[in-house]
Structure 1
Amino acid sequence: MVFRAPSWAPQLSDAEIPDDQPLSDFLFDDELRPRKCADSPKPFIDSLDGSGSSIEETRKRIEWLAAGIASHLGIADTTGDVWDRVVSVFTVNNIHTPVLAWAVHRLNGVVAPVNVAFRASELTYQLKDCKARCIFTDASHLDIALEAATAAGISSSDIFLISIPADTGRPTANIRSFSNLEDLVNIGRTVPPLPHTRWEKGRARTQAAYLCYSSGTSGPPKGVMISHRNIIANIMQMNLYELPLRNGNQPEVILGILPQSHIYSIILTTHCSVFRGDTVVVVAKFELMNLVKAIRRFNMTMLYVVPPILIALINQGALTEDPADLDLPSVSRIYCGAAPLSQELTSQIRARYPHVLLGQGYGMTESATVMASHPRQVYDGSSGCVVPGLEIRLVDASGNDVEGYSKPGEIWALGPNITLGYFKNRDATATTYGDGWLKSGDVGEFRPHPETGDAHLFIVDRVKELIKVSGFQVAPAELEGHLLGHALVVDCAVIPVADERSGEVPKAVVVLSKDAGSDHRMAEREILDWVTKHKSKHKHLKGGVEFVSEIPKSPSGKILRRLLREREKARQAQICAKL
């Protein structure tokens, strides 16, 4: 059984999605935009100092920056292999990152965003894998970028700084010895502009615009090749789907706190917003009261968030002396993604902000957004309905399509937003992408809306082994490989543990070596520190460490994580029963 967008939603055919222009041209094409460029406000402004450029200024900066980067890298035209023009971006949120991305596209390159929480070893892996030509970072992350660049064989002259009002970092490296983004813009003003090459029909379908790293359904991070048309398609899908949400043709003022390296932000607060003529207020760092002040100062109307932000609002509201301190009078919509909202949190947000439409969505790096709540019918607990132009199947463990409602199956998706596959990894691509269908690794079931009968998707389980921490993927295999590098660890497995704030957190189940002795507290401390030292924060073992005599495995040697997860759930249930 194939599920599609509801009959009342605008439809989108494959022929309506352009495939003969790069993403940056599509964004500023007045024949396609809902609101002309000349009638649109600044696309991005900084939450601290209010700085930002008009759309016309933004387009000029794209051209200058593209020419400046090309001049530095010795690129003379916009032809050639895009994989020789990969640019890594390792920085906190700022108003320059979108312009940088479009400048890279302008010189026929690929943007490889990096999670700003990464440690040097994690960044090194990505730089080597994508063979990045240069790195853009900020002062706070310069030391990590420099260490990783050295390990990856990238010259320090190919590291560029982005100036950010919120940046208080004090790197040990001499900042003055590094060029910055503005230096490249100024170079671009003085050199000949890059030639414009008209794209042939179909090129946007196959040419990558972004290389975003994901663990897919299992294993270490892999580069997801996201084409120009994949993003163009998702922009059109979301724009059509959300038309009834728009207040006439009035621009929205949108919160831009989602990490700009994450697909959630890349689609919704980097591209959809610009295409529709909205303004995104970019926030570099989450601090609740400063965030609330920024929402009020700029009269934000739309918040794209993750569950921890909503949890913070509710928890802080219970502590503050004056509940009005957390009022959000200008906000009409809150859209939550990256992890499911609990029913309890949903009810709390609705009670605290009754004037706000609260919705959810579902997607992944390999697909961008595939499901979203709709104002016509929000079904609490669901991820919404299928977006236009997409098809969804639910497939059971035997490989058969699930028929009807309220029956679980793995979510398979087919449509123009489904990405090209994994970079230099045919086996993983063949496993996850089959005959055009993306196998998500998530288990869902469609349930009819109690009033309209329309199909809404509920995420009920996960086939894939990934742990989802505040929207970020953690591959158990990656942490297990790292743990086995510690002298005290003979064998191990990593499983998820439920966490109110993050959704899930990793827990290590470890077989200790004979050298560990009987002091398990000391061993636990060493193992926790081992991960903390080398891995980014969302990969830390916040679920703790458990010592066992043996890791359960299949006859072929595969870790039976399911048994460990079930045992952990039973243990947690016993703890709750005693409370």
Structure 2
Amino acid sequence: MVFRAPSWAPQLSDTDIPDDQPLSDFLFDDELRPRKCAECPTPFIDSLDGSGCSIEETKKRIDWLAAGIANHLGITDTTGDVWDRVVSIFAVNNVHTPVLAWAVHRLNGVVAPANVAFRASELAYQLKDSKARCIFTDASHLGIAIEAASSVGIPSSDIFLISIPADTNGPTANIQSFLNLEDLVEIGRQIPPLPRIGWEKGRARKQAAYLCYSSGTSGPPKGVMISHRNIIANIMQMNLYELPFRNGNHEEVILGILPQSHIYSIILTTHCSVFRGDTVVVVAKFELMSLVKAVRKFKMTMLYIVPPILIALIKQGALVKDPTEFDLPSVRRIYSGAAPLSEELTTQIRARYPHVLLGQGYGMTESATVMASHPREVYDGSSGCVLPGLEIRLVDADGNDVEGYNQSGEIWARGPNITLGYFKNKDATAATYSGGWLRSGDVGEFRPHPKTGDAHLFIVDRVKELIKVSGFQVAPAELEGHLLSHSLVDDCAVIPVADERSGEVPKAVVVLSKDAGCDHRTAEREILDWVSKHKSKHKHLKGGVDFVSEIPKSPSGKILRRFLRDREKARQAQISAKL
């Protein structure tokens, strides 16, 4: 059975989606936008100093910055190979990153955003795999960028700084010797713009705009090739889906706290918002009280967030003497993604903010957004309905399609937003992209809405081995490989354990080496420190370490993670029963 968008949602056919223009041209095309550029407010403003550029100034800065980057890298036209023009962005949220991304597209390049939590070794892996030409970073992350760039042969002259008001931690290197993004804008302002080359029909379907790293259904991070048309399609899908709710000159003031390197932010707070004529208030770093003050100051109406932020709102809001400090009178909608909301948290949010419409969404790097709650019918616990132009199948363990409601199966998706595959990895692409369908690795089931009967998706399990920590993917194989390089570890497995704040966190199950020479407590401390020293924060073993005599494996040597996960769930159930 194939599930599609509800009958009340506007339809979207393949021919409706342009494929003859780059993403940045589509965004500012007055013939396609719901509102003309001249009628729209400033698209991005900084939460600290209120700075930002109008749409008209933004378009100029795109051209200037593209010319400045091209001049520095020796690019003289826009007809070269896009894979020779990969640009890495490794910086905290800021108002310049969207303009920088569109400037890279203007010079016929590919944007490779990197998680700002990366350590140097993790950034170096991505730089090497993507063959990045240069890096844009902020002062507080310059030291990591320099170390990573040096290890893969990127000269320091190709590291550029983005000035950010929130950058108060102090530089980790001599920033005076590095060109600033504004220097490149000024250079581009004084030289002829790059020549514009008309795109032939079909080019936007096959040319990558972003290379975003994901572990897919298993294994180490892989570059997902996201075409210009993939993002254009997802913008149109979200816009059409919410069209019945947005009338006339309706505009939102949106919280921009989601990491700009994550697909959730790339789609919803970088591109959809600009196309629809909204304003995004960009917040560089999460600090709850500062965030609440910014929401109130800028009278934000829409919050795109993740469950840990909602948990913090409820828990810390309950501790203050004056609970009105956490009131959000301007907020009309809260949209949560990256991890499912628990029933308990949903109830608490509704009680605390009864005037707010709370919804969820579902997607992945390989597909962008495929499901979303709609203001007309939110079904608590669900990820919403299928977006226009998409088809969804649920496939059971025997490879058969699930027929009807309340039956679970792996989520397979097909549509114009499904990405091109993995960069330089045919085997992984073949395993995940099957005959035009994307295999998500997540298990879901559709349930009819109690009043309307519309199909809503509920995420119930996961086929893939990935651990989802606050929306970030952690591949067990990556951590296992790192753990095995420690002298105390003879064998190991990494599994997810439930965590109220992060959804899941990694836990290591370890077989100590025979000559370890220390007790379990000392070994655990050393292993935890070993991971913390070399891996970014969301990969830390927050679930702790268990010691066993043997890791359960299949005859072929594959780790039986489900056995370990089931054992952990049983152990946690016993603990809860005693409380």
TM-score range, shorter chain: over 0.9
SS, match of residue 318 in structure 2: helix
Distance in 2, matches of 1:518 and 1:205, equals 57
Aligned to 1:156: 156
SS, match of residue 389 in structure 2: coil
**Cα offset for 1:66?**
0.1
Aligned to 2:350: 350
Contact 1:390–1:415 (CA under 8 A) maintained in structure 2 = yes
Distance in 2, matches of 1:69 and 1:281, equals 26
Aligned to 1:6: 6
Q: Deviations for 1:491-543, whole angstroms, at most 9, x for unmatched residues?
A: 00000000000000000000111221241111111100110001000000000
Distance in 2, matches of 1:424 and 1:99, equals 28
2:310 counterpart of 1:310:
yes
**Cα offset for 1:248?**
3.4
Aligned to 2:85: 85
Q: Which residues of 2 match residues 161-310 of structure 1 at below 5 A?
A: 161-246=161-246, 248-310=248-310
Aligned to 1:27: 27
2:400 counterpart of 1:395:
no
SS, match of residue 456 in structure 1: strand
SS, match of residue 516 in structure 1: coil
Q: Deviations for 1:369-427, whole angstroms, at most 9, x for unmatched residues?
A: 00000111100000000000000000001100000100000000000000000000000
Distance in 2, matches of 1:441 and 1:557, equals 21
Distance in 2, matches of 1:400 and 1:48, equals 53
Distance in 2, matches of 1:229 and 1:125, equals 27
Most deviating of 213-222 and 173-182: 173-182
Contact 1:101–1:111 (CA under 8 A) maintained in structure 2 = yes
Most deviating of 199-208 and 240-249: 240-249
Q: Deviations for 1:246-275, whole angstroms, at most 9, x for unmatched residues?
A: 253222100000000000000000000000
Distance in 1, matches of 2:466 and 2:399, equals 21
Q: Deviations for 1:335-382, whole angstroms, at most 9, x for unmatched residues?
A: 000000000100110111111100000000000000000111100000
Contact 2:139–2:172 (CA under 8 A) maintained in structure 1 = no
Distance in 1, matches of 2:245 and 2:144, equals 42
Distance in 1, matches of 2:461 and 2:283, equals 33
Aligned to 2:531: 531
Distance in 2, matches of 1:276 and 1:315, equals 34
Contact 2:140–2:172 (CA under 8 A) maintained in structure 1 = no
Q: Which residues of 2 match residues 559-578 of structure 1 at below 5 A?
A: 559-578=559-578
Q: Which residues of 2 match residues 312-331 of structure 1 at below 5 A?
A: 312-331=312-331
Alpha-carbon RMSD: 0.6
Q: Deviations for 1:437-481, whole angstroms, at most 9, x for unmatched residues?
A: 000000000000111111000000000000000000000000000
Distance in 1, matches of 2:6 and 2:371, equals 11
Distance in 1, matches of 2:255 and 2:214, equals 25
Aligned to 1:510: 510
Distance in 2, matches of 1:168 and 1:291, equals 17
2:536 counterpart of 1:541:
no
Distance in 2, matches of 1:172 and 1:69, equals 24
Q: Deviations for 1:147-201, whole angstroms, at most 9, x for unmatched residues?
A: 0000011000000000000001323311101111001001101111100000000
Q: Which residues of 2 match residues 409-428 of structure 1 at below 5 A?
A: 409-428=409-428
**Cα offset for 1:118?**
0.4
Contact 1:244–1:375 (CA under 8 A) maintained in structure 2 = no
**Cα offset for 1:244?**
2.7
What amino acid does structure 1 have at the position aligned with 2:527? I
Aligned to 2:455: 455
2:359 counterpart of 1:365:
no
What amino acid does structure 2 have at the position aligned with 1:468? K
Aligned to 1:467: 467
Contact 1:505–1:541 (CA under 8 A) maintained in structure 2 = yes
Unaligned runs of at least 5 residues, structure 1: none
What amino acid does structure 2 have at the position aligned with 1:533? K
Contact 2:5–2:387 (CA under 8 A) maintained in structure 1 = yes
Q: Which residues of 2 match residues 65-76 of structure 1 at below 5 A?
A: 65-76=65-76
**Cα offset for 1:282?**
0.1
Contact 2:413–2:437 (CA under 8 A) maintained in structure 1 = yes
What amino acid does structure 2 have at the position aligned with 1:494? V
Aligned to 2:429: 429
2:52 counterpart of 1:58:
no
SS, match of residue 402 in structure 1: coil
Q: Which residues of 2 match residues 56-135 of structure 1 at below 5 A?
A: 56-135=56-135
Contact 2:161–2:181 (CA under 8 A) maintained in structure 1 = yes
Aligned residues: 579
Moved over 3 A (4+): none
What amino acid does structure 2 have at the position aligned with 1:379? Y
**Cα offset for 1:323?**
1.0
Most deviating of 301-310 and 241-250: 241-250
2:384 counterpart of 1:384:
yes
Distance in 2, matches of 1:514 and 1:179, equals 53
What amino acid does structure 2 have at the position aligned with 1:527? I
SS, match of residue 291 in structure 1: helix
SS, match of residue 24 in structure 2: helix
Aligned to 2:341: 341
What amino acid does structure 2 have at the position aligned with 1:136? F
Q: Deviations for 1:89-120, whole angstroms, at most 9, x for unmatched residues?
A: 00000000000000000000000000000000
Distance in 2, matches of 1:225 and 1:150, equals 25
2:375 counterpart of 1:375:
yes
Distance in 2, matches of 1:68 and 1:46, equals 24
What amino acid does structure 2 have at the position aligned with 1:441? G
Contact 1:141–1:169 (CA under 8 A) maintained in structure 2 = no
Distance in 1, matches of 2:315 and 2:170, equals 33
Distance in 1, matches of 2:495 and 2:245, equals 40
What amino acid does structure 2 have at the position aligned with 1:320? V
SS, match of residue 401 in structure 1: coil
What amino acid does structure 2 have at the position aligned with 1:165? P
TM-score of the pair, normalised by structure 1: 0.99
Distance in 2, matches of 1:484 and 1:171, equals 34
**Cα offset for 1:245?**
2.8
Aligned residues with identical type, % of pairs: 87
2:37 counterpart of 1:37:
yes
SS, match of residue 456 in structure 2: strand
Distance in 2, matches of 1:304 and 1:242, equals 15
SS, match of residue 464 in structure 2: coil
What amino acid does structure 1 have at the position aligned with 2:357? L
Distance in 1, matches of 2:543 and 2:241, equals 39
TM-score of the pair, normalised by structure 2: 0.99
Distance in 2, matches of 1:244 and 1:283, equals 29
What amino acid does structure 2 have at the position aligned with 1:310? L
Contact 1:367–1:418 (CA under 8 A) maintained in structure 2 = yes
SS, match of residue 424 in structure 1: coil
Contact 2:141–2:172 (CA under 8 A) maintained in structure 1 = no
Most deviating of 169-178 and 297-306: 169-178
What amino acid does structure 2 have at the position aligned with 1:132? A
